[in-house]
Every structure is written in C-alpha cells, then in structure tokens.
C-alpha cells in the first residue's frame, strides 16, 4: 500500500542546502522529493559531466536527508520517464500520496519559477513557496537594490555589500584603506610560477550508472564523458575543497586570478586547467556550500596566516562572491524575462562548429574550449576574454552564445550564466551590467597568457595571411560600433589610435577581418 503524507516538499537539483530551515525538524508526515528530470537534462545540450555531477549530488543529498531521519523519495530518469514535465510528475505524486499541501523553494531560474507558479495557481490543495536561504541578499532586497533596465555598476554595489555585511571592514572604512586591489591582481604566470602551481584536489566518484541512464534515455549531451567524476558532490567534500583552496591556492589567488597558460602538464598532474582557482562554483551554485560560509573561511585563513595571505589575495576572492555573484543575481531577476532577448549590437552570426570540437588553429581558443570540453570548466578570464571576446568581436548571435555557455559549464545555471554572457561578455544588454564592451585584440591574450608562443598565427601581425585573427576582428568590431562606444571615456584612446591610421590602412584591416569572418569555420 502506498504511503500517504500530508505535505510534499520539492527539492530541485540546485537546492542541495542542508542548512535550510526545512530540515531543522524531522516530520514523518512530510515527503521530500528529489527527481532527475528529462526536462532539466534536456532544455539545452549540457556537458555530460555537468549532468553526472548534479545527478550524483542529488543522490548523495537524498541519502543524507534519509540518514537524518527525513522521508525522501529520490527518483531517477528511469522513474520520471513516463511524465512529460515536472508539473505532470508532481500531480501524479500528490494524487498517489494523498498530499494536502505542496511546498517548494523558489527556483533560481525564471523558466522554472514560472512553471511552478502556473502549476500551483491551479492546484486544488494548499501551496507555499519559500526562499532558498542561500544568498546574502533576500528576494525582497533585490528589488530594493536593483531597478529594471537601469545601468548598475558592480563596484558601487560591492562596496555597499562590504559595509552592509561588515566584510573586510575597519569601522566605516575598508581594511587596507582601499576597496579594490584588482590592479595588483593581473600577473602573468612565468615558467617558474607554473612549477609552483599546486596540484588540484580531485574527487573520484564512479558515475557509470548515471552515464548508462543518460545514454538509455537518449539525453543529448556534449563534452568528454568520464566515469570517474572529479567534482565534490557532498558538503563534506566541498568543505575539503574549500580548505584545500584556502591552504594552498588563496596565498596566490589574487595575484594570478586573470592568468592563463597552455603549457602541457606533467604526466598525471593535471594542474594547468585549475591553477589557483577555488573550483567551488559547482558546490556554491548547487547550494551545497553557502557563500557566507565560503567567504568566512577565506577571511579566517587571511587573519590567521597574515604572513602567507595578503589582503589583495583575499579581497579578490571575496569580491567575486559577495560582489559579483550577488550582483549578477540581482541583474537577472529584475530584468527577466526581457533580458534574455536583448541584442543591443544586433549580432547575428552563427557560432562556429569548432566550439564543440576545439578544432581551431587559434591556440587561445583551442586551449580554452578543449579544457571546457574535457572538464566542464574554465576560469572567468578564459570565459570572458577568450571564448567570450571571440564571440563578441565576431558578432555571434547572443542566444547561441548563451546556450553554449549554459550547457558546457558545470556551474552554469541561468541566473548566473545569462547576465555574465549576454551582459558582461557580449554587451548585448547595452550596458546594464558593464560600462564597456570587453573587446580585445591578440595583445591582451599575449599579455595574460603563454597561448601565443606556439600558435599557428602571429600575434604581432594584423593584415597578413598568418596574422592573429583577433587583431583585425577587434578593429572591425570597434569601427563598426563607433556610434555605440565612441563617446565612452574608457575607449576614447582606442578610437584616437584607430583614427590615426590612413584610409588605406583602415581598409586593409577591415578587409582582413572580412576574410576571417567569411572563413570563420576554418580559423
């Protein structure tokens, strides 16, 4: 006989927060449901490791709740296959278990939040939505701090957050007398620095069964499959990774947070892709760890190890979480759903097919994409200034860029992906997120990486056949959008340099860019 419950609570795959108030008391009359869903595995083609990580973490969380005495129903793709979508599954479970009240945590994707809102509006039983209790800012605070369509600036928001939550403050002033040490955190990795990069802490989860389910249900995935999942899937493991980061990576995190390298790793070391980054974004975005816990841990290590960890290192890390992460969430929620349609630069070109294969002669793109396909991960500068920059200056249609980023990265959930991609990276929002377009020539790549050293193309050339394509594409982009950016103080010098060129020199650059765009599949 099927058990009956008076209350059903839904836990989504990115709501694995063991500290949520739901779990403070054990109630045998409440059923928690955690379900692998075809609709979530298939709304874009996801990286296979991303699907495995979420499914493995959901399974582990279900087991943890059961061990804590809660009633949990964990459903796999095999169980949910008969149901067309989440509402159909929920309707069935409510009927099957005689449920009299349905509760859920507010989803962090607009699509899901709308779906559950529509579903509960027609339910014949009581329903209730609660906060996920994860972020620094509550749902109500977002509408106070952000305004739809307004151009917001992260630095001003970040300073308010530091004051509001008393993070790295001396009274009313920032520790060290300045808010931001970004200017100190733009070092390139030299050969001797790469030798000192710590070998990353990796985990080993056998996901053979999950891979079989993905194949059995014909879920379309991208990227390199691996039966040995390297990512943390429990709070214990995520805390191990946090401690590892604070002990071994934080002392150099800020200094090298923008650096990139394509140097081949020593056999078995595999540290070129991780560098000094925390790789906590999956644990954070699935809510296994809370941002406050992560920030507090980093600051604790800074205070207890002042000879090893400088203020510039910890500030750069704190800014990414208490500043950028919370800022991006606010931008997303006050501007959706219109935000997902913005295309202020009228970009229409198709994304090259080599974004799914890394089969390109451009060393920087090859390394960043290959790493993404291999690990479902790339750090923020690879995303913004390598793949993102190429898409921006090539005029790739933003929806295609969004789908690629949303699918390929293990930490990509729309609330965090969309403003970063469509806003910060592609400037498709017209400046709501960023004060300028993050466009760059090959010189930036040379400055921040060693990618150019063994590239098929020559970074010092612009118009020749073997010239770095980024150079002409950059000038073509800036020339095309002079009306958009010519009045921006941050690009005034760029246009001054462009206008020093003769008409013949300009035309040679634009012709080279046109040839590169025409042959974009062969670059």
In tens, the pLDDT along 176-203 reads: 999 988 877 778 888 888 888 999 999 9
CATH topology of domain 353-522: DNA Cyclobutane Dipyrimidine Photolyase, subunit A; domain 3 (1.10.579)
3-state secondary structure of 376: coil
Return the domain boundaries, the chain: 7-130, 139-335, 353-522
pLDDT number for residue 187: 82
- Helices first, then strands: H and E counts in the chain: 25, 11
Q: What DSSP designation does 321 have?
A: I
Element (H, E) at 205: strand 205-206
Q: Report the alpha-carbon distance of residue 486 to residue 498 in Å, rounded.
A: 11
User: For helices 469-480 and 492-499, what crossing angle results, to 10°?
Assistant: 100
- β-bridge mates for residue 126, sequence order: 101
pLDDT number for residue 481: 94
In tens, the pLDDT along 195-230 reads: 889 999 999 999 999 999 999 999 999 999 999 999
Q: Report the alpha-carbon distance of residue 329 to residue 7 in Å, rounded.
A: 30
CB under 8 Å, gap of 24 or more: what pairs does 486-493 form? 488/435, 488/436, 490/435, 490/436, 491/436, 491/437
In tens, the pLDDT along 377-419 reads: 999 999 999 999 999 999 999 999 999 999 999 999 999 999 9
Element (H, E) at 174: strand 173-174
What is this structure's pTM? Answer: 0.95
Which of 3.40.50.300, 1.10.15.40, 1.10.10.60, 1.25.40.80 is the CATH number of 139-335? 1.25.40.80
For residues 87 and 95, the answer to whether their CB atoms sit within 8 Å is: no
Q: CB neighbours of 9 closer than 8 A, spacing ≥ 6?
A: 22, 30, 31, 32, 33, 102, 103, 104
**Do the bridges between strand 169-170 and strand 173-174 make them parallel or antiparallel, or are there none, so unpaired?**
antiparallel
In tens, the pLDDT along 335-348 reads: 999 999 999 999 99
Please say whether the structural domain 7-130 has been given the CATH code 3.40.50.720: no
pLDDT number for residue 184: 73
Give the burial string for 367-377 (b: 16+ CB within 10 Å, else e): bbbbbbbbbbb
């Amino acid at each position: 006989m099927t058990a009956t419950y008076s209350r059903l609570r839904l836990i989504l795959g990115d709501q694995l927060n063991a500290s949520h108030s739901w779990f403070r008391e054990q109630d045998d009359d409440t059923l928690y449901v955690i379900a692998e869903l075809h609709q979530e595995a298939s709304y874009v083609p996801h990286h296979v490791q991303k699907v495995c990580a979420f499914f493995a973490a959901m399974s582990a969380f279900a087991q943890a709740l059961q061990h804590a005495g809660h009633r949990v129903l964990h459903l796999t793709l095999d169980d949910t296959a008969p149901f067309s979508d989440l509402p159909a599954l929920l309707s069935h479970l409510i009927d099957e278990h005689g449920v009299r009240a349905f509760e859920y945590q507010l989803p962090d994707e607009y699509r899901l939040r709308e779906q559950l809102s529509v579903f509960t509006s027609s339910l014949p039983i009581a329903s209730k939505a609660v906060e996920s209790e994860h972020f620094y800012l509550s749902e109500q605070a977002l509408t106070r701090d952000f305004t739809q369509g307004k151009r917001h600036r992260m630095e001003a928001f970040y300073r308010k957050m530091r004051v509001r939550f008393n993070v790295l403050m001396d009274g009313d002033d920032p520790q060290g007398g300045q808010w931001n040490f970004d200017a100190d955190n733009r070092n390139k990795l030299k050969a001797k620095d790469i030798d000192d990069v710590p070998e990353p802490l990796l985990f080993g989860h056998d996901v053979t069964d999950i891979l079989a389910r993905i194949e059995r249900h014909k879920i379309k995935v991208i990227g390199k499959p691996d039966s040995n999942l390297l990512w943390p899937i429990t709070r214990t493991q995520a805390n191990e990774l946090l401690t590892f980061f604070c002990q071994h990576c934080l002392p150099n995190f800020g200094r090298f947070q923008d650096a990139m390298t394509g140097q081949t790793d020593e056999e078995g070391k595999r540290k070129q892709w991780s560098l000094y980054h925390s790789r906590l974004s999956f644990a954070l975005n699935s809510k296994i760890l809370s941002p406050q816990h992560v920030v507090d841990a980093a600051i604790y290590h800074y205070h207890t190890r002042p000879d090893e960890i400088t203020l510039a290192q910890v500030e750069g890390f704190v800014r990414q979480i208490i500043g950028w992460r919370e800022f991006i969430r606010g931008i997303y929620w006050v501007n959706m759903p219109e935000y997902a349609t913005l295309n202020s630069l009228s970009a229409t070109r198709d994304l090259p097919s080599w974004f799914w294969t890394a089969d390109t002669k451009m060393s920087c793109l090859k390394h960043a994409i290959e790493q993404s396909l291999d690990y479902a991960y790339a750090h923020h500068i690879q995303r913004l200034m390598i793949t993102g920059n190429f898409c921006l200056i090539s005029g790739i249609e933003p929806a295609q860029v969004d789908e690629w980023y949303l699918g390929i990265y293990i930490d990509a959930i729309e609330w965090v992906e969309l403003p970063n991609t469509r806003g910060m990276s592609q400037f498709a929002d017209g400046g709501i997120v960023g004060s300028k377009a993050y466009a760059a020539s090959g010189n930036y790549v040379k400055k921040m990486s060693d990618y150019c050293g063994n590239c098929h193309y020559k970074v010092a050339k612009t118009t020749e056949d073997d010239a770095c394509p980024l150079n002409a594409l950059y000038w073509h982009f800036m020339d095309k959008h002079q009306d958009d950016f010519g009045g921006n103080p941050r690009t005034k010098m760029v246009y001054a340099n462009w206008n020093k060129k003769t008409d013949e020199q300009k035309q040679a650059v634009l012709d080279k860019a046109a040839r590169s765009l025409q042959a974009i599949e062969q670059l």
